Structure 1
């Protein structure tokens, strides 16, 4: 890779780091208003990061190289690594006294909207740090949408998003201009966050909790202001509000734009939406019935908890209203399987995603039919469209890479002393950006603080792999990428 391309990638990352430095002033203002001395930490971090970023941006500014897929891969990876490191500065410098590994883990978990945490005692944490965690997830969620809608489709490694519904005409796009589309995306993201905050407040949350949870709900991030997560709040109203907005945030934002801007109700017929909603409802109902039958709890109460917690897992949000691993072996297995699923392409959710399961199902069906009729020609269809060979290849490559990275991360965690359940589910939840794993250590009733520093570095890297859809990172490890 030419030095000019790397120079430009560093310049882009420095510019975005400057934006993060400005964002640090928000928790600084919150702590200053609350009379907490950590406001100085955020203010100093903003000045330090801002000054350094401005210097690097000025030093690396030059004519950009010719646009290419390799250059785009490099920019994406360098940018997200930089954001993860820069956002760790306040965590490291604040009164929490986190080590470097812990600070980076917390910031990467936030910016990738994973929701795993190493912080214990959230209820007594300074308000600025709580806002910083939530704000990072909110910013990361918007970046995830942009990644899925605009960058990954260009890189041919994911992002199966349609801007045209049942037509190839330009008129079927929400907007012809890219900048207008971005503004509409930001507008819908802000409006959804605002509506969610008001709904949480109406359901009984304080204003501070409502704003923080609204940011992490729409980002499908899962950071809470309390150690007990949603178990801190009384009543089922907050659970149903959270469930509704988690489902909305896991829908394709391109479809939401079509729906809001053009009033296109037919946009909701996207096959991945139907599959996503089907498995979310299916898992929640199955566990609710099982829990009611085996524990004697009323079905309505079992349904509220089951729907909330399994929608949280499937949308990769990671909230928990109670320890669902105590519901019985079927619930534990269901939670493990649900961790793979994810939401829709072009949403804030992670996971394998519904459209890939649709395409894999069609490929499997066609393969079996080919065994019966060897000379028949079967096309892979996504709704009314034929999925081209390039997209089929991307899906198969993703699944292969997913299994490879999951196995490698699991082996690494086991080598550093983690037990089988912790290693297996820790690697999985980091790769799918869900948040909690299973078991007494990293399950919904625990967190990642007991793990050693080496394991936290492994999980931080795995979270970035998962957020960038794997192939965008793995391609940088191929020697041919750097030649020429």
Structure 2
């Protein structure tokens, strides 16, 4: 099968299984503290560790330091998310919290891909340890995405990421320099999580809920241990979560530059400015519509409007209001926001701001060329010229994303779902958001969907999370040839 070095693939997957077994033991400790059954976590941890050990020994050889090729990277990344999602579903099944295999896998995939779509109809009846595990899958998936899109993808030139997500000095190969960046990013990720937990505790939220919500926010996941998500909490709590969702949607290289005091790089980052401007404009527009058409006070409209807009754009999926009760044009804008996504190199999903920015630059050039047909107008990003390969890579990605969205929506309609539910289910799962419109809105869930639809949406969650190319290339015959 091609010229694969499966030892490298096994080694990376085994390391991930070891991390996963440690996370399961932490959830087991929560079960002991809460006086709940520890068996689901212990059994899964033992299984994950045993499989990890087998793969680790299968990978031992002189090829131990063989670098990861691009071909191996595609397979490793997809297999890792698949194996982690399947393993993560076992505590739900063993505990009986989610008895259906399809539902348990859906919930687990939704966690690790930081989507936050759920099949649970009554969250609060579940054991605390299961709810902790559910939120922890977000947090693990979030740091996994940071490592993937800031370190692995740029180094391997996967999906055009090397073209705009990092400075060229960090793109060469997985070098000590990149490992240093990786450690910094992990510190930033942990620091944001701890800071949010402290601020939520200050607002009167208990330690369990503070931790679960911080995991869901920083990873832009959106799983809440409460049935009403964030709606039942104080305005202070809602503002804290809004701010941290906004921060989680920023490229993690920005806080890295902040730590390094490299303010010029931050100033030059066009995606960062574009992201803040888009959030501000849409947030203000929605807030004004809530004041005008729903008679809400300025503060309530501002808080509700910005919370939902930031939550959807950053693909977090927490909710403080049922936006389907808003004027039609307002929730149509929310649906449009499902295609925006946060910044590259953030935990957010979606198409990503930089790609929208490049598409807009292309449109502007088309209009300029109408008046000056022979003018050579280059596309610039962060004051650097974008070459044709980079530009085409972005345009191809956006086209492919929309093609997968349309195909998925049509399949769901053929399975008997209405148009609004089909389109928004696919949009929200591909972008890793959580709630949609139609019968999967913010006060509903995905429990009522047919089993086939849940399987398709689980596949779309992984495909969208791994930037489409990574998964689709595995279905290309040329990929498996030598």
**What TM-score, normalized by structure 2, do the two folds share?**
0.94
Query: Superposed, which structure 2 residues align to 1:304-383 within 5 Å?
Result: 304-383=303-382
Aligned to 1:241: 240
Alignment RMSD, CA only?
Answer: 1.9
> In the alignment, is the contact (CA less than 8 A) between 1:41 and 1:94 conserved in 2?
yes
| Structure 1 residues 373-423: Cα deviation after superposition (integer angstroms, max 9, x where no partner) | 222111011131111112111101111110111112112212222111111
State the partner residue of 1:30. 30
Take 1:162 and 1:407, find their aligned partners in 2: how far apart are those partners? 27
1:101 aligns with 102
Alpha-carbon deviations, 1:46-92, whole Å to 9, x = none? 11222123223323444266643222212211222111111111122
2: distance between equivalents of 1:462 and 1:296? 39
Aligned to 2:408: 409
After TM superposition, give the deviation of residue 149 of structure 1 in Å. 0.8
From the superposition, tell whether residues 265 and 341 of structure 1 become closer, same or farther in structure 2 (CA, over 3 Å): same
Kept in 1: contact 2:316–2:348 (CA 8 A): yes
TM-score, normalising length: structure 1: 0.94
Q: 2:467 pairs with 466, 469, 472, which one?
A: 469
Residue 230 of structure 2 is aligned to residue 219 of structure 1: no
- Residues 317-337 of structure 1 deviation map (CA, whole Å, 9 limit, x = unaligned): 000012111011022111101
Rate the CA distance shift 1:67–1:22 in 2: closer, same or farther, 3 A.
closer
| Shift in alpha-carbon separation, 1:28–1:417, aligned structure 2, 3 A | same
Query: How many angstroms apart in 2 are the aligned matches of 1:318 and 1:223?
Result: 8
Q: Distance in 2 between matches of 1:346 and 1:51?
A: 33
Distance 1:304 1:224 in 2: 19
Question: Within 1, Cα distance between the matches of 2:169 and 2:461?
Answer: 38
Deviation at 1:199, TM superposition (A): 0.8
1:460 — aligned with what?
Answer: 458
Aligned residues: 474
Shift in Å at residue 169 of structure 1?
A: 7.6
Map Cα deviations across residues 149-185 of structure 1 (whole Å, 9 max, x no partner): 1222233414354544xxx789xxxx97222211111
Aligned to 1:195: 195
- Give CA deviations for 1:30-58 in whole Å, capped at 9, x if unaligned: 11111112x11111111122212322332
User: How far apart are residue 266 of structure 1 and its match?
Assistant: 5.2
Relative distance call for 1:162 and 1:112 in structure 2 (3 A) is: closer
Report the Cα distance in structure 1 between the residues aligned to 2:451 and 2:145, rounded to whole angstroms: 27
Assess if the C-alpha contact under 8 Å between 1:109 and 1:460 holds in 2.
Answer: yes
1:72 aligns to 2:73 (yes or no):
yes
How far is 1:474 from its partner? Answer: 1.3
- Quote the residue 2:42 is aligned against: 43
The separation in 1 between residues aligned to 2:52 and 2:228, in whole angstroms, is 37
